[in-house]
Amino acid sequence: VRIVELASEAVPFAKTGGLADVTSALSRDLAARGHRVSLFLPLYREIRRAGVEIGPTGVRVRVPATGGGWEAEIRRAVHSDSGVDVYFVDVPSLFDREGLYGDAGGDHPDNAARFACFTRAALEAARRLGDGIDVVHCHDWQSALAPLFLGSGDAPKTVLTLHNLAYQGVFPREVVARAGVPAELAWSADCDSHGQVGFLCAGIRRADRLTTVSPTYAREILTPQYGFGLEGVISARPDTVIGILNGIDTSLWDPAADPYLPATYSRDDLSGKALCKRTLQAEFGLAATPELPVFGQVSRLVEQKGLALIEELGDELGELPAQFVFLGSGEHRFEAIVRELAERLPNVSARITFDERLAHLVEAGADFFLMPSRFEPCGLNQMISQRYGTVPLVHAVGGLADSVVHASEANLAIGMATGIAFRGFDASALRWALRFALELYERPAVLTGVRKAGMRADWSWEASGRRYERLFQALLETEREAIDAE
Ligand code: ADP
């Protein structure tokens, strides 16, 4: 299958969250299965700065818009050991600046233009560069307009993957028009609310297939509680949303061969984990107390990640026989919550930054990994932490519900338990879960069993990649069947 992946982030080039892990690992998995995969990204400043070797393709694309438009130079990554052809859409006036989507002052005001231009230029470039396209795979609002730009007829099939409905790319209608989205791609009434139109909404209506990143989230987004206003548009489609749980890159996230760790370890020999914990405590300025459990959280500091519950518990955290480390960056309000807790409480420490090495250290050095997310389409950290023998403590929603087996006595008895899952998004439920963790910590043999059950689980892309592959093949089959029927 000739596949074009349109992504606003992908490791190792540009990342703000799990989307970057997913687009990259999925592309590589599909290429390894023998498919032809081209991955397109905007050429952000941070990609230039990271020293990625970039070469020319000789392709220039003009994207028209009211009052001028843009010239996009299409470049490519010189080194690709993964079998994926990585291309960059280079429009310095749109992408050569700080921040993928925004900076300290908030979202970039021209995001509609930036990502409409990226999507259009990438599609045109993909047409000219390759030997045909079977499937265009879009991710989130940033490339959700691809099905509209492609139109119908003999256009490639389109799949839109919903990674997080909280981000919909909603802009005033005139801004969208100025961004070069032609009027004939007219927005439906469903996607136009008080003069504001949503890129994601438009894509949901037009894509040939919709997928999302866990089976539970696929059901949740049909409800007002989790649909963020799009539940009606999604439910109105003739097909159902396919939930495919993400995998993780098991070579990047491997406690037995992780270059960021002071000591490596495995399921058969967990001893190196103790040094990771000591190093974590030291790096975060916490007392070196092996007897106290460490709870770690690595996340974008935004409402979704359950920081309101952490805030509500507040000084109670200081009374628990435990230590807490927070690594994250995001919105000021949520950064302030963890920063202030860390200033007030000696057993809480926070680093407000994005730091790959520290993320690995928290995964390895903590005893429990906190993910009290209000909602979580899939979540990667609960899988990563299981792989690192660090027991996830999660709110049982979305992908968290699909990937963590609660340590009830029944699940413990059959060796299935991999974490702690609470129901109901409130502070008392989180309090219950923290106490549950502390009690588990007092039962070392049982805790080791839970750690090992998590380490045994297979979170590789093997199963997920196969499901995307089947989906793409099935789409082409239906196409062929339709042609045959004519
Ligand atoms: P989301 O996609 O909502 O951000 P996920 O759990 O799916 O959440 O993925 C988060 C990814 O981003 C993980 O790989 C995590 O380690 C990484 N990450 C988040 N915040 C940071 C940070 N401050 N420093 C380093 N890595 C981070």
Mutation choice for ligand 1 from 167, 299, 354, CB with most ligand atoms inside 8 A: 299
Residue 175 near residue 112, CB atoms below 8 Å: yes
Q: Is the CB of 180 under 6 A from ligand 1?
A: no
How far, in Å, are 77, 88, 129, 479 from residue 56 at the CA level?
Answer: 9, 10, 12, 35
Mutation choice for ligand 1 from 15, 298, 302, CB with most ligand atoms inside 8 A: 298
Distance of alpha carbon 460 from alpha carbon 7, whole angstroms: 21
Q: Is the CB of 362 under 6 A from ligand 1?
A: no
Q: Is the CB of 17 under 6 A from ligand 1?
A: yes
Residue 373 near residue 397, CB atoms below 8 Å: yes
Locate the ligand 1 atom nearest the alpha carbon of residue 373 and give its number.
Answer: 3
- DSSP class of residue 141 equals G
Locate the ligand 1 atom nearest the alpha carbon of residue 305 and give its number.
Answer: 3
Q: Is the CB of 260 under 6 A from ligand 1?
A: no
pLDDT at 152: 76
Q: What angle (nearest 5°) sits at the alpha carbon of residue 355, between those of residues 295 and 13?
A: 135
Sheet strands side by side (includes 192-193): 170-172, 196-198, 192-193
Q: Is the CB of 356 under 6 A from ligand 1?
A: yes
Count helices and strands in the chain by DSSP H and E runs: 21, 20
Locate the ligand 1 atom nearest the alpha carbon of residue 327 and give its number.
Answer: 23
Distance of alpha carbon 392 from alpha carbon 198, whole angstroms: 35
Q: Is the CB of 425 under 6 A from ligand 1?
A: no
* Residue with CA at minimum distance from ligand 1 atom 12: 17
Q: Is the CB of 299 under 6 A from ligand 1?
A: yes
pLDDT at 185: 66
Q: Angle 444-456/427-441 helices, nearest 10 degrees? A: 110
Q: Is the CB of 21 under 6 A from ligand 1?
A: yes
Locate the ligand 1 atom nearest the alpha carbon of residue 351 and give its number.
Answer: 23
CB atoms within 10 A of CB 62: 11
Rounded to 10 degrees, what is the CA torsion of 410, 413, 414, 420?
60
Residue 213 near residue 22, CB atoms below 8 Å: yes
* Residue with CA at minimum distance from ligand 1 atom 17: 17
Distance of alpha carbon 305 from alpha carbon 301, whole angstroms: 7
How far, in Å, are 158, 233, 289 from residue 239 at the CA level?
Answer: 14, 12, 54
Give me the DSSP letters along 430-453.
Answer: HHHHHHHHHHHHT-HHHHHHHHHH
* Ligand 1: centre distance to CA 277 (Å): 20
Residue 125 near residue 40, CB atoms below 8 Å: yes
Tokens of 91: 């429009």
* Ligand 1: centre distance to CA 133 (Å): 32
Question: Which residue is associated with the tokens 């050991």?
Answer: 81
* Ligand 1: centre distance to CA 330 (Å): 11
Q: What is the pLDDT along the chain (486 residues), one digit of tens a residue?
A: 999 999 999 999 999 989 999 999 999 999 999 999 999 999 999 999 988 999 999 999 999 877 789 999 999 999 887 899 999 999 999 999 999 999 988 999 999 999 999 999 999 999 999 889 999 999 999 999 999 999 877 899 999 999 999 999 999 988 888 888 876 666 777 888 888 899 999 999 999 999 999 999 999 999 999 999 999 999 999 999 999 999 998 999 999 999 999 999 999 999 999 999 999 999 999 999 999 999 999 999 999 999 999 999 999 999 999 999 999 999 999 999 999 999 999 999 999 999 999 999 999 999 999 999 999 999 999 999 999 999 999 999 999 999 999 999 999 999 999 999 999 999 999 999 999 999 999 999 999 999 999 999 999 998 999 999 999 999 999 877 766 776
Residue 448 near residue 12, CB atoms below 8 Å: no
* Ligand 1: centre distance to CA 1 (Å): 30
* Ligand 1: centre distance to CA 357 (Å): 12
pLDDT at 104: 82
* Ligand 1: centre distance to CA 18 (Å): 5
* Ligand 1: centre distance to CA 221 (Å): 22
pLDDT at 122: 98
- DSSP class of residue 194 equals T
Contacts of 64 (CB under 8 A, 6+ apart): 180
